[in-house]
Amino acid sequence: MNFIPTVTHYGPGYQEVSVWPLSQYTPELAAAHGVRQYAPAFGWDYLTEQLAGLDFQAGGEPDKTSP
């Protein structure tokens, strides 16, 4: 089973909802995410910090060699 990290992105007022593979999501998109209206700390750094504890091999599969 493969896990592909994704981001559900929306603009101001919950407009233009889209789902992006994290590998294609950009810091610019994160900075424009509508959630920043309610959570100003949200951004690229927040996303990468949330996923820092997960270890993925290329292709989205978890690294089974990690403890």
pLDDT tens digit sequence for 51-67:
887 766 544 444 444 44
The alpha-helical segments, DSSP class H, found in 1-63 are: 27-31, 44-51
Sole residue written with tokens 């294609």 = 24
pLDDT at 67: 44
Largest CA distance in the chain: 43
Report the pLDDT value the prediction gives residue 16, as an integer from 0 to 100.
Answer: 93
- Contacts (Cβ under 8 Å, ≥6 apart) of 21: 4, 5, 6
62: which strand partners?
56
Mean pLDDT of the chain: 83
